[in-house]
Homo-oligomer: A and B are copies of this chain.
Amino acid sequence: MSNVLDSFPETMITATPADGFALAITYSRLGVKSAQPDMDILEKLRPVYSEDADSLIASSQVVATHFQTIATANNYWR
């Protein structure tokens, strides 16, 4: 886990909503990697889940939750 979080972004503040969304995607992936740090296994899982509609929707839900946090942190880039 420590290895995984070594690459964790230093700040939640981003310039634009797009950058905030990219950060949400990064957080989602780090959440998965913290539970399965072996990149070989993750690579094997990718073709399965990325062609399964329900897995993609579930991924999108995780991104939505992280984006909510990040958007609040950035005061919605108002």
**Interface residues, chain A, with chain B CB atoms under 8 Å away:** 1, 5, 8-13, 16-18, 21-22, 25, 27-28, 30-32, 34-36, 41, 45, 48-69, 71-73, 76-78
**Interface of chain A, main secondary structure:** helix
A45 surroundings in chain B (CB, below 8 A): 51-53, 56
**Which residues of the partner chain B approach A17 to less than 8 Å between Cβ atoms?**
8-12
11 new A-B contacts at CB < 8 Å, known A5-B18, A35-B59, A71-B73: A8-B16, A8-B21, A12-B78, A21-B27, A27-B64, A31-B59, A35-B49, A35-B56, A57-B58, A61-B65, A68-B68
**How many copies are assembled?**
6
The CA of A10 and the CA of B31, in the complex, are separated in Å by 23
